[in-house]
Structure 1
Amino acid sequence: MGRQVEEQITHRFPVGQRLRVLDVGMGQGTQALRLARAGHKVTGLEQDPDMLAVAHAALAAEPAGIQDRVQLLEGDGRETGAHFVPGSFDVVLCHGVLMYVPEADAMLAGLARMLAPGGLLSLLVRNGDALALRPGLAGDWAGALAAFDTVDYTNRLGLDVRADRLADLTATLSGIGAPLSTWYGVRVFTDGTEAGAELPPDEELEALLAAEERAGRTDPYRSVAALLHLCGVRG
């Protein structure tokens, strides 16, 4: 996932350009710190105080030069207009957030307004066209059959959330002036891997990541990934 973001930044902007990045719903700040270490100026927005505290602690362990490039704010991604001036960012990340937003179109329009012309909007969403795969592969046939006709599901934390369909997001991105440039599948083969599970040996892990990356950019595999990574570009 991080490599896909970096690839899009490399293709979209001149080498060496210091980008202004907004990370909406940044969680523990992993991606924000990765981009700050690469030289970019990053603003992280997170509404969960506990997550924000973890991000502050991680930032405090970084060298002063990196700390100076990161600003962490408590706030909701649906209220970016109250925090920032339109056109303030070259890159806006919104990863793992839309599943918690019942009506996402207004939020996405607000995020697109934050982009300068040519700016990149990066979304990571649950794939609404593949919701039946997880219960089906687990042998939950009732759950698999029910998943075909909905974008609602219960996540591993027991929360009722929602997925997004590629066609719907493609139309939305076009409508808000940041049409889809490219998209990837994420977790094609590894959706059953539990968070916190022990990683395989390095050689096997390298092969696993190579297979995932190849599948994530290849039809028809990417269409059935658990997650979708979409990149829109502000016109």
Structure 2
Amino acid sequence: MARQLDEQIAGRFPVGRRLRVLDVGMGQGTQALRLARAGHQVTGVEQDPTMVAAARQALAVEPEGVRERVRLVEGDGRDTGVHFLPGSFDVVLCHGVLMYVEDPDALLAGLARMLAPGGLLSLLVRNADALAMRPGLAGDWVTALGAFDSTMYANRLGLDVRADRLDTLTSTLAGIGAPLHAWYGVRVFTDQAADGPLVPEQRGELQTLLAAEERAGRTEPYRRVAALLHLCGVRG
């Protein structure tokens, strides 16, 4: 997904431009730090104190130049209008957040308002049109059958959360003035893979695996059955 985001940034903004980035629901700050290392000014918003502490710890070991480019805000992503002026950012990230929001329309509208004209909105969501894939491939036929007509699922943490449909988000993005520009599938082949680092003998396969995932995430019909969708909207 990082490669997809970098591709969209490179295609939309002049090379070398230092962008103003807002990362809503930044978690432990992986994307925020990566973009700050690339020279961008990044503001991360996160409401979970544990995640904020992890992000601060990760930031503390970065070079001074990177630390100066990152601002961390402990707060709810639905309150961006309280913290920032409209049009304050060139790029807004909202990755892995919408599944925890019962009604995402207000959140998305608020994020779109944060974008300057021509700004990029990057969303990573669970794919509601492929919810039957994970239980089906695991042989859980009861859950698979129930997933066809649902947008709810139990995640790996055991929480009941929500997924989004591509057509619905496409309509929503058009309605908030940040119409869909590009979209990709994420975790087409690897959704069943165990979490954790690769063992040494597997690391040589990593680049091949990533190349296969990257290709599938851009190719029909594979991208439509991906576990996650990466959508990029552009502020008009």
Name the structure 1 match of 2:234: 233
**Structure 2 counterparts to residues 171-190 of structure 1, below 5 A:** 171-190=171-190
> How far apart in 2 are the matches of 1:37 and 1:134?
35
> How far apart in 2 are the matches of 1:32 and 1:85?
20
SS at match of 1:108: helix
Name the structure 2 match of 1:109: 109
Name the structure 1 match of 2:211: 210
Q: Which amino acid aligns with 2:38?
A: A
Name the structure 2 match of 1:196: 196
> How far apart in 2 are the matches of 1:64 and 1:140?
50
Once the two structures are TM-superposed, the CA of residue 3 in structure 1 deviates from its matched residue by 1.0
Name the structure 2 match of 1:28: 28
**Structure 2 counterparts to residues 111-126 of structure 1, below 5 A:** 111-126=111-126
> How far apart in 1 are the matches of 2:140 and 2:59?
42
Once the two structures are TM-superposed, the CA of residue 195 in structure 1 deviates from its matched residue by 1.9
> How far apart in 2 are the matches of 1:20 and 1:195?
32
Once the two structures are TM-superposed, the CA of residue 201 in structure 1 deviates from its matched residue by 2.4
> Once the two structures are superposed, what CA deviation does each residue of 1:95-117 show, in whole Å capped at 9, x if it has no partner?
00000000000000000000000
Q: Which amino acid aligns with 1:159?
A: L
> How far apart in 1 are the matches of 2:168 and 2:102?
14
> How far apart in 2 are the matches of 1:206 and 1:156?
26
> How far apart in 2 are the matches of 1:46 and 1:92?
14
Q: Which amino acid aligns with 1:103?
A: D
Once the two structures are TM-superposed, the CA of residue 16 in structure 1 deviates from its matched residue by 0.4
Identity of counterpart residues, as a percentage?
A: 76
Q: Which amino acid aligns with 1:34?
A: R
Name the structure 1 match of 2:220: 219
SS at match of 1:193: coil
> How far apart in 2 are the matches of 1:168 and 1:20?
28
> How far apart in 2 are the matches of 1:33 and 1:186?
21
Once the two structures are TM-superposed, the CA of residue 202 in structure 1 deviates from its matched residue by 2.9
> Once the two structures are superposed, what CA deviation does each residue of 1:50-76 show, in whole Å capped at 9, x if it has no partner?
000000010010011110000001011
Once the two structures are TM-superposed, the CA of residue 197 in structure 1 deviates from its matched residue by 5.2
Name the structure 2 match of 1:60: 60
After TM superposition, the score normalised by the length of structure 2 is: 0.98
SS at match of 1:129: helix
Q: Which amino acid aligns with 1:227?
A: L
**Structure 2 counterparts to residues 39-50 of structure 1, below 5 A:** 39-50=39-50
Q: Which amino acid aligns with 1:131?
A: L
> How far apart in 2 are the matches of 1:66 and 1:203?
31
**Structure 2 counterparts to residues 50-199 of structure 1, below 5 A:** 50-196=50-196, 198-199=198-199
SS at match of 1:201: helix
**CA RMSD, Structure 1 to Structure 2 (Å):** 0.8
